[in-house]
C-alpha cells in the first residue's frame, strides 16, 4: 500500500495549483459568459433605422453571402467610445460590413455620438427598449457578433474590442467565417 | 428624549424591506401566476450583477427580464417554457441552479465521485493485510511491560 501512493496527495495538490494558475494567468475574463448563440442562426428581427427615413434592419441583412459584424453600442457607454477606433479600422482598412445596433439609446444621442466619432456602420438601427439585445443574449454593451454569409453566428466578442483584440480575435473570426 | 418615539416611528416608516421589483412593474392579474412568476425570478440570474437573481437586482436588464417573464406567463407559457426561452438566449448560466444534464454531469456528479473515492480508499485501508504476528522476543517484552504496569497500579499512590 505504501510506495508511490504516498505522493498522491502531493501530485493532486500540484495539479490543482497548476490548474488554478493557468485559469488565473490565462487570457480569460471570469465575468465573461459564453454566448448561447454561437453556432446558431442569428435572431431575425426587423429594427428601425437610426436616421429618420433610413433603411431598417431586415433578416436579409444578415445573409449577405459575406461575413457581417453586428455591434451593439450606446452613446452612454464609455467602453463603446474606447472600441470605436477599432470599428473604424474594421470598416475602413479591413472593409468589413458592420451593422450597428444602438442599445437603449435615444436616437438624437446616438446620432450625436456617431457625428462626433465617425460612423463605421453600414447600417445603424435602434433598439430603444433593449428587446433586440435580449434576443441576442446581450448582457451589456458593447458586444460584437460575427455572422457568416448564411446568417449563422460564428463568434461573439464580449466587451470592447480594444488593444490587440481586433487583430487576435475579431479579424481571425471574420476570416474563419468566410 | 421626548422625540425618541417620533424618531423611531420615522425610522420604522422608512425601513421598508428594500425590494428591487420596481413600482412601475405591473404584477400579473392572477395572484397564483404572479406568485409563480416571482418564484421563477428568484431562479434567474441577473447577467449584469451575476450573483444576484433578477428578483433582487436593480439592473436595467434584470427589470427587462422580469417584464418578459410576466409577459410570457400572461401569454400562457408555463415556467418551464419561460426558462427554455431564457436559456435559448443566455445559456444555462442564466439559471442560478443549473439543470442536471449530460453536459453538467461533472458538476453534479463530482461530489458523488469524491465520496465514492473516499469510501474506496477507506475500504482498501481496512482490507490491508493485518500486521505480522509478534516474534518471541517482542512477546516477552510486551509481557514484561504489562506486568510492570500492573504492579505499578497495585502500589498505593503517594
Phi-psi region of A65 (alpha: psi -120 to 50; beta: other; left: phi over 0): left
Contact B50 A140 (CB under 8 A): no
The DSSP secondary structure of B95-138, one letter per residue, reads BSS---SGGGHHHHHHHHHHHHHHHHHHHHHHHSPPPPPPPHHH
Judged against a pLDDT cut of 90, whether residue A171 lies above it is answered with: yes
Alpha-carbon span A120 to B31, nearest angstrom: 49
Give bridge partners of residue A126 from the DSSP assignment. Answer: A102
Of B64, B70, B62, B88, the closest CA to residue A43 belongs to B88
Contact A130 B64 (CB under 8 A): yes
- CA–CA min distance B95, chain A (Å): 13
Question: Are A71 and A144 within 8 A, CB to CB?
Answer: yes
Give the tens place of pLDDT for each residue, B48-64.
Answer: 887 899 998 888 899 99
Q: Give start and end residues of each alpha helix (H) in A45-106.
A: 78-92
Q: How confident is the model at residue A146 (pLDDT cuts 50, 70, 90)?
A: very high
Give the tens place of pLDDT for each residue, A84-94.
Answer: 999 999 999 99
Judged against a pLDDT cut of 90, whether residue A174 lies above it is answered with: yes
Q: What is the structure's pLDDT at A26? A: 76
The more confident residue out of A27 and B112 is B112
**Which residue of B48, B87, B93 is in closest CB contact with A140?**
B48
What length is written for chain A?
178
**Which of the residues A137, A138, A140, A141 would you substitute to probe the B interface, choosing the one with the greatest number of B C-beta atoms within 10 Å?**
A137
> Which residues of chain A make contact with B64, given a CB cutoff of 8 A?
129-131, 134
- CA–CA min distance B4, chain A (Å): 46
- CA–CA min distance A34, chain B (Å): 8
Q: How confident is the model at residue A2 (pLDDT cuts 50, 70, 90)?
A: low
- CA–CA min distance B10, chain A (Å): 38
Domains of chain B, earliest start first: 19-101 (1.10.8.640)
Q: What is the structure's pLDDT at B10? A: 65
Mean pLDDT of A41-65: 92
Judged against a pLDDT cut of 90, whether residue A41 lies above it is answered with: yes
**Which of the residues B61, B65, B82, B118 would you substitute to probe the A interface, choosing the one with the greatest number of A C-beta atoms within 10 Å?**
B61
Alpha-carbon span B115 to B113, nearest angstrom: 5
Mean pLDDT of A114-124: 95
Q: What is the structure's pLDDT at B133? A: 83
Q: What is the structure's pLDDT at B12? A: 64
- Cβ–Cβ contact B48 with A under 8 A: yes
Domains of chain A, earliest start first: 30-177 (3.40.30.10)
Alpha-carbon span B97 to B92, nearest angstrom: 9
How many of the other CB atoms lie within 10 Å of CB of B90?
A: 22
Q: What is the structure's pLDDT at B158? A: 52
Q: How confident is the model at residue A78 (pLDDT cuts 50, 70, 90)?
A: very high
Alpha-carbon span A50 to B98, nearest angstrom: 39
pLDDT along chain B (158 residues), means of 10: 69 58 74 92 88 89 92 92 93 87 85 94 80 86 92 72
- Cβ–Cβ contact B88 with A under 8 A: yes
Amino acid at each position: 500500500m505504501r510506495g508511490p501512493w504516498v505522493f498522491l496527495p502531493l501530485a493532486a495538490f500540484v495539479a490543482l495549483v497548476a490548474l488554478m494558475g493557468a485559469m488565473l494567468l490565462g487570457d480569460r475574463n471570469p465575468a465573461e459568459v459564453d454566448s448561447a448563440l454561437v453556432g446558431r442562426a442569428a435572431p431575425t428581427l426587423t429594427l428601425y433605422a437610426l436616421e429618420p427615413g433610413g433603411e431598417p434592419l431586415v433578416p436579409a441583412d444578415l445573409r449577405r453571402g459575406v461575413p457581417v459584424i453586428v455591434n451593439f453600442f450606446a452613446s452612454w457607454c464609455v467602453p463603446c467610445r474606447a472600441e470605436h477606433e477599432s470599428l473604424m479600422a474594421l470598416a475602413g482598412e479591413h472593409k468589413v460590413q458592420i451593422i450597428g445596433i444602438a442599445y437603449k439609446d435615444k436616437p438624437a444621442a446616438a446620432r450625436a455620438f456617431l457625428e462626433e466619432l465617425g460612423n463605421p456602420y453600414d447600417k445603424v438601427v435602434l433598439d430603444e427598449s433593449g428587446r433586440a439585445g435580449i434576443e441576442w443574449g446581450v448582457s451589456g454593451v458593447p458586444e460584437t457578433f460575427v455572422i457568416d454569409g448564411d446568417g449563422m453566428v460564428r463568434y461573439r466578442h464580449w466587451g470592447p474590442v480594444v488593444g490587440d483584440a481586433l487583430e487576435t480575435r475579431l479579424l481571425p473570426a471574420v476570416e474563419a467565417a468566410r | 428624549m421626548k422625540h425618541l418615539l417620533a424618531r423611531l416611528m420615522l425610522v420604522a416608516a422608512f425601513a421598508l424591506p428594500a425590494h428591487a421589483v420596481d413600482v412601475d412593474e405591473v404584477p400579473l392579474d392572477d395572484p397564483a401566476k404572479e406568485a409563480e412568476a416571482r418564484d421563477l425570478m428568484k431562479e434567474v440570474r441577473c447577467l449584469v450583477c451575476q450573483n444576484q437573481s433578477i428578483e433582487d437586482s436593480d439592473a436595467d436588464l434584470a427589470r427587462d427580464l422580469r417584464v418578459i417573464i410576466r409577459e410570457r406567463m400572461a401569454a400562457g407559457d408555463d415556467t418551464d417554457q419561460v426558462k427554455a426561452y431564457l436559456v435559448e438566449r443566455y445559456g444555462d448560466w442564466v439559471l442560478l441552479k443549473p439543470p442536471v444534464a449530460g453536459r453538467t454531469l461533472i458538476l453534479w456528479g463530482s461530489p458523488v465521485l469524491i465520496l465514492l473515492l473516499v469510501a474506496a480508499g477507506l475500504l482498501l485501508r481496512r482490507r490491508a493485510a493485518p500486521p505480522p504476528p509478534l516474534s518471541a522476543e517482542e512477546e516477552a517484552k510486551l509481557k514484561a511491560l504489562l506486568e510492570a504496569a500492573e504492579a505499578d497500579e497495585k502500589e498505593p499512590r503517594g
